[in-house]
Amino acid sequence: MIGRLAGALALGLFLLGILGPSSAANARDQLIIGATQFPSNLHPNIDSMLAKSYVLGLTQRPFTTYDATWQLVCLLCTELPTFENGKAKIEDLPPGFKRDRGTTFCKTADPALATKGIAATYTIQPNATWGDGTPVTTDDVMFTYEVGKNEKSGVSNSELYRRIVRIDVIDKKTFTMHFDRVEFGYNGINDFELVPAHLERAPFGDPTTYRNRTLYSTDPTNPGLWFGPYKVTSMEPGSQIVLDANPTWWGTPPQIKRIVFKTIENSAALEANLLSGSVDYIAGELGLDMDQALGFEQRHKDAYDITYKPVIYYEHLTPNLDNPIFADKRVRQALLYALDRTALTQQLFAGHQPVADSDVSPLDWIHTDDVAKYAHDPAKAAALLDEAGWKLGADGLRHDAGGKPLGFELNTTAGERTRELVEQVLQSQWKAVGVAVRIRNEPARVLFGETINQRKFTGLALFAWLSSPENVPFTTLHSTMVPTAENGWAGQNYAGYRNGAMDDLIDCIEVELDRGKREQMWHKLQALYAEDLPDLPLYFRAQAFIFPKWLKGITPTGHQYQSTLWAEQWRIEP
């Protein structure tokens, strides 16, 4: 699995709030979930956004995913292919084959593997059926592959499809994927999300317009788009999505017959709506900010079950490195030295969300503390800015040799209270060292669907990456993954970061099968990240799950794959 999920998150903090009749007060076969963000679209492979991932967890299933114990498991497939069970095999690549990216095979890897790939065989759940009664088959697998490998389709994790040499169809339910390298995560195809060939082939007639013509955008209530425990039956863009139990679902029938996902783009209204009964449930993945949750617990802990779940969730600032201001590493380092992140996290989160020194969470076995750290040091920040040519003027701002002031825009999700508080702290602390910041926030569906995805931000973007265990940051840090109009805005390297040393580490980590050797490479990657600062790390996140006493069966996962992937286990008890 080589993709990450973005949100206010993504990619960031998602808060839930809703107005409307409470399912708790009425028939207990309906659950209303509020949210401050609405998905940019519902296509499973276009755009990366937590709000969408949360909804799609109700309507479909990936072939593979990580469960709440952080183990790779099958959902749409019947059994994970492994070397031990014979469903995965190392094989020779075709004569003269060259990997699509044209990169040199990792110099430190076993040279015998340089011309090898892996064949992995998967079988689709025998009773998997689209909501219109059409069986889920290898026709859908082949069509999804066709969409994914087309450079104009705009899929987020285009690299996954590049690595698939070919797919052999064995029968209507079984297929073999041939991959162009031997990787430690060879059997995880989490991002290979099926789309229905019988419905989507016509909109895909012109791949350049597919993003806008897909039925996931033009006809989202078409039952044939969904094969999970729920299907979308009503959608008001920017407002709400109604999902009803899907009669063609092959698994355990969900007890809760209807789920309403509703959006209010102001997190301040969240707690009031929950207490008034207008919101039944605040999902931790999309829920209260930590400061709100702590205050809520003090006031209402007797009425709710509250759980704090540390997650592989990384809040940070992404610079647009095409901007000459941020192209200078000394400026990026100075901006981080100017911040008192320890005070910020203590005051806002009571220590539940620790300062981040790199992009790898302490929860992950590959984490190391042996990296450069940027404690609050305004004098060091000032010295670096002086060295970079930004001198302090009489107006209190820094200017370059031509008199241009040092300033930029800061973007995040509009209406997200904690992020807006963080922005104000950052703005104030940067002003103290002579840096002017203009705050310009947007609704999440705009920020993630266009501004960040198409790299239209010119300064810093405040959001989060939600990741999975030992997730290789290929799509976010590799130089080949910068989104452009030419590649259909594929890739998640929104900063535009290009560093050959980072590319080499990523390429080598992926193909190193020895866990100990791989760990050392991970430590080098984190050290390079902390020195180079392709992003400015802020803190690692935790999620607050606030459960009404009558809602049971929801298990937080602690990573990017949401609890909704097991929504059929949710239940309402008297």
Write down the pLDDT at residue 102.
43
Residues 15 and 120 in one domain: no
Write down the pLDDT at residue 253.
96
Flag whether 273 is in a domain. Answer: yes
Write down the pLDDT at residue 433.
98
Domain interval for residue 524: 311-541
**CATH number of domain containing 374:** 3.10.105.10
How far apart are alpha carbons 549 and 558 in whole angstroms?
22
Residues 377 and 351 in one domain: yes
Return the beta strands (E) in 28-163 as ranges.
30-35, 64-66, 72-74, 88-92, 116-123
Last residue of one domain, picked from the residues 140, 171, 198: 198
Residues 326 and 434 in one domain: yes
Query: Taking every pair of C-alpha atoms in the chain, what is the biggest distance, in angstroms?
Result: 75
Residues 133 and 242 in one domain: no
**CATH number of domain containing 304:** 3.40.190.10
Q: Are 160 and 3 in contact (CB under 8 A)?
A: yes
Residues 323 and 358 in one domain: yes
How many domains, in total, are found in the chain?
A: 3
Last residue of one domain, picked from the residues 138, 164, 198: 198
Flag whether 204 is in a domain. Answer: no
How far apart are alpha carbons 82 and 76 in whole angstroms?
16
Write down the pLDDT at residue 105.
66
Write down the pLDDT at residue 3.
58
- Residues of the chain short of pLDDT 50, as ranges, are 7-26, 102-103
Last residue of one domain, picked from the residues 198, 233, 266: 198
Write down the pLDDT at residue 2.
53
Write down the pLDDT at residue 265.
74
Residues 35 and 81 in one domain: no
Flag whether 208 is in a domain. Answer: no
Flag whether 209 is in a domain. Answer: no
Flag whether 207 is in a domain. Answer: no
DSSP per residue, 416-484: -HHHHHHHHHHHHHHHTTT-EEEE--B-HHHIIIIITTTT--SSEEEEEEE--TT---HHHHSGGG---
Flag whether 537 is in a domain. Answer: yes
Q: How far is CA 282 from CA 53, 143, 302, 538, 542, in A?
A: 16, 37, 16, 25, 15
Residues 333 and 434 in one domain: yes
Mean pLDDT score across all residues of the chain? 90
Residues 122 and 44 in one domain: no
The percent of residues in the chain predicted with pLDDT above 90, rounded, is 70
Residues 35 and 181 in one domain: no
Q: 326-370 pLDDT, tens per residue?
A: 999 999 999 999 999 999 999 888 878 899 999 999 999 999 999
How far apart are alpha carbons 4 and 49 in whole angstroms?
9
Flag whether 561 is in a domain. Answer: yes
How far apart are alpha carbons 452 and 496 in whole angstroms?
11
Residues 150 and 52 in one domain: no
Flag whether 205 is in a domain. Answer: no
Q: 300-323 pLDDT, tens per residue?
A: 989 999 888 888 988 999 999 999
Residues 292 and 414 in one domain: no
**CATH number of domain containing 164:** 3.90.76.10
Residues 432 and 475 in one domain: yes
Write down the pLDDT at residue 17.
30
